[in-house]
Amino acid sequence: MKKPVILIVGIIYILSIVIVGFLGIKPKVFNEKIYVEDIVLTFDEKLTKKETTNPNIDYFYTAKNVENLTFDITAQVTPNNATNKECVFESVGKDDYYTVSSVYAGEATIATIQCSGSNLGRTISLKVSSTDGNKSMVKFIDILLWLI
């Protein structure tokens, strides 16, 4: 090869490296962790939400029967593409008249609250939190059970 051809190929090679460096594809981050921004709660149809003026009670629910009541609360998170969509339900009080068990079902966490005995006028206090490491995504729920 002649000298000018080798020189031109070398210059084009160096220019291509510079051009790709400035105008190249932006690096894409893989395994990016998307945190939960909000937890949306849906309550069982056994409970009816009522308006309350009591600032200490978040949810005032009535039920047709509060004896040995069992109901579900579903927790879905936003955004839909969050890395970890699982939530944890915990009993806040040391009350022994109800138990909380939860299971993660793909798109939502479903908690079953099972009350024992007469629960008229009792309050169920729960803490719902995401398990993705976002410590600020916590909701506290107080449910007052009353007859319709």
pTM score, whole prediction: 0.68
User: What's the CA gap between 110 and 74, in Å, rounded?
Assistant: 5
φ, ψ dihedrals at 117, nearest 5°: 75, -160
Higher pLDDT: 40 or 19? It is: 40
Choose among 121, 118, 128, 119: nearest CA to 42.
128
CA 71 from chain center: how many Å?
20
Q: What is the pLDDT of residue 99?
A: 83
Name the strand (E) or helix (H) holding 81.
none
Q: How confident is the model at residue 57 (pLDDT cuts 50, 70, 90)?
A: low
Higher pLDDT: 126 or 2? It is: 126
Q: What is the pLDDT of residue 33?
A: 83
